[in-house]
Homo-oligomer: A and B are copies of this chain.
Amino acid sequence: MGNSFGQLFSITTWGESHGPAVGVVIDGCPPGLPITADEIQVELDRRRPGQSDIVTPRKEEDRVEILSGVFEGKTTGTPVALLVKNGDQRPGAYDEMKDKFRPSHADFTYQAKFGRRDHRGGGRSSARETVGRVAAGAIAKKILGASVEIRAFLTQVHDIAVPAEALVDFPTLAAVEATPVRCPHPATAAAMIERIKAVRSEGDSVGGVIECRVRGVPVGLGEPVFDRLEADLAKAMLSLPATKGFEIGSGFAGAQLRGSQHNDAFENRGGEIHTITNRSGGIQGGISNGEEIVFRVAFKPTATILQLQATVDVTGTPTELMGRGRHDPCVVPRAVPIVEAMTALVLVDHWLRQSAQCGTFEF
Report whether A245 and B244 are in contact in the complex, using a CB–CB cutoff of 8 Å.
no
Contact residues in B for A25 (Cβ distance below 8 Å):
3, 12, 14, 25
**Identity of the chain B residue whose Cβ is nearest the Cβ of A122 in the assembled complex:** B285
Q: Which one of A56-64, A167-175, A184-192, A201-209 is at the interface?
A: A201-209
- Give the Cβ gap from A323 to chain B, nearest Cβ, in Å: 9
Report whether B298 and A254 are in contact in the complex, using a CB–CB cutoff of 8 Å.
yes
Residue from B77, B252, B262 within 8 A of A357 (CB atoms): B77
Residue A101, interface by CB 8 Å: yes
- Give the Cβ gap from A343 to chain B, nearest Cβ, in Å: 14
Question: Beyond the given A15-B81, A255-B301, could you list 12 further A-B residue pairs with CB under 8 A, ordered by the A residue number?
Answer: A1-B356, A12-B12, A19-B68, A23-B67, A32-B115, A34-B363, A77-B113, A104-B264, A125-B224, A244-B252, A245-B246, A255-B300
Contact residues in B for A32 (Cβ distance below 8 Å):
114-116, 362-363
Residue from B199, B209, B288 within 8 A of A109 (CB atoms): B288
Report whether A245 and B252 are in contact in the complex, using a CB–CB cutoff of 8 Å.
yes
Residue from B227, B232, B310 within 8 A of A1 (CB atoms): B227
**Identity of the chain B residue whose Cβ is nearest the Cβ of A274 in the assembled complex:** B312
Report whether A76 and B246 are in contact in the complex, using a CB–CB cutoff of 8 Å.
no
Residue A5, interface by CB 8 Å: yes
Residue A219, interface by CB 8 Å: yes
Contact residues in B for A227 (Cβ distance below 8 Å):
1-2, 239
Residue from B19, B79, B245 within 8 A of A245 (CB atoms): B245
* Known A-B contacts A156-B255, A250-B244; A262 and B301 likewise in contact (beta carbons under 8 Å): yes
* Known A-B contacts A4-B27, A8-B356, A114-B358; A248 and B244 likewise in contact (beta carbons under 8 Å): yes
Residue from B31, B209, B247 within 8 A of A114 (CB atoms): B31
